[in-house]
């Protein structure tokens, strides 16, 4: 794969994975924040929302460094475009984490008991989707060192397939959350119903972005 040949003389797989690790830091905090939101611990929600914003900014900085390095490289525009598309979609995972955090910080909203576990289950599933992509980015160096040996290639592709599967599962959980929400909507005010639907949608977007990252990475690997 031509692009996995060096940014300023070194492989971009390291910086790409570094960016993913920072994105994953946002996601780990999001899990804590969602739990605190279900427990109505709004002071902790605000605290972790601020921290997620800080981590999202750090991810932006890493993305900017990689982008600036690419502009000084000798790769073709198509090769640069692949990496930039990848980074943009990967960065959207962190952006979505921040969006969820800001929403939860914005309004104190009580969840009916039947929705709490479902929202946590949705969060866990999108985390699994991102974890699958993270595993694939971690495998890039091994893939390069082995000159794309079949066993290493299959391992990376399995991780990418798993990301797509987890995104599909997240869609099902999100639908279940919406159905249950509408079953208990009479116990809630309309703004709370709309607000919680929006939160579940934003959390679900994280898995969508993870699947998109997996699709771009698959294309990059196949083009090697």
DSSP states of 128-142 as a string? Answer: HHHHHHHHHHHTHHH
Model pLDDT for residues 4-17, shown as the tens digit of each residue:
344 334 556 678 88
Count Cβ atoms below 10 Å from residue 168 Cβ, excluding itself. 13
Model pLDDT for residues 144-167, shown as the tens digit of each residue:
666 666 777 778 888 899 999 999
Model pLDDT for residues 165-192, shown as the tens digit of each residue:
999 999 999 999 999 999 999 989 999 9
| Assigned domain for 6 exists | no
| Assigned domain for 8 exists | no
Comparing CA positions, the residue from 24, 42, 10 lying closest to residue 110 is: 42
Burial (CB count within 10 angstroms: exposed 0-12, middle 13-18, buried 19+), residue 19: buried
| Assigned domain for 4 exists | no
Phi, psi (degrees; rounded to nearest 5) at 184: -110, 10
Q: What is the count of structural domains for the chain? A: 1
Scored b (16 or more CB within 10 A) or e, 84-110 reads: bbbbbbbbbbbbbbbbbbebbbeeebe
Residue 100 pLDDT exceeds 70 = yes
Tell me if the pTM is above 0.85: yes
Domain span at residue 55?
13-222
Question: Could you tell me the CATH number of the domain that includes residue 109?
Answer: 1.20.58.220
| Assigned domain for 1 exists | no
For position 24, what pLDDT does the model report? 93
| Assigned domain for 2 exists | no
């Amino acid at each position: 794969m031509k692009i996995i040949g060096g940014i300023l003389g070194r492989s971009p797989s390291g910086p790409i994975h570094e960016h993913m690790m920072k994105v994953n830091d946002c996601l780990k905090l999001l899990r804590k924040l969602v739990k605190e939101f279900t427990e109505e611990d709004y002071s902790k929600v605000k605290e972790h929302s601020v921290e997620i914003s800080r981590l999202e900014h750090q991810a932006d900085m890493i993305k900017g460094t990689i982008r600036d390095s690419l502009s000084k490289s000798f790769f073709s525009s198509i090769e640069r475009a692949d990496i930039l598309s990848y980074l943009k979609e990967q960065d959207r995972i962190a952006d979505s984490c921040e969006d969820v955090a800001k929403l939860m910080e914005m309004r104190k909203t009580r969840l009916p008991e039947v929705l709490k576990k479902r929202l946590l289950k949705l969060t866990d599933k999108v985390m699994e989707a991102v974890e699958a992509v993270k595993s694939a980015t971690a495998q890039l160096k091994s893939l390069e060192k082995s000159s794309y040996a079949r066993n290493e290639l299959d391992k990376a592709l399995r991780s990418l397939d798993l990301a797509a599967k987890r995104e599909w599962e997240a869609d099902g959980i999100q639908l279940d959350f919406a159905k249950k929400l509408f079953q208990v909507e009479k116990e809630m005010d309309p703004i709370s119903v709309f607000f919680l639907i929006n939160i579940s949608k934003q959390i679900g977007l994280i898995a969508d972005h993870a699947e998109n990252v997996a699709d771009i990475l698959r294309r990059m690997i196949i083009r090697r």
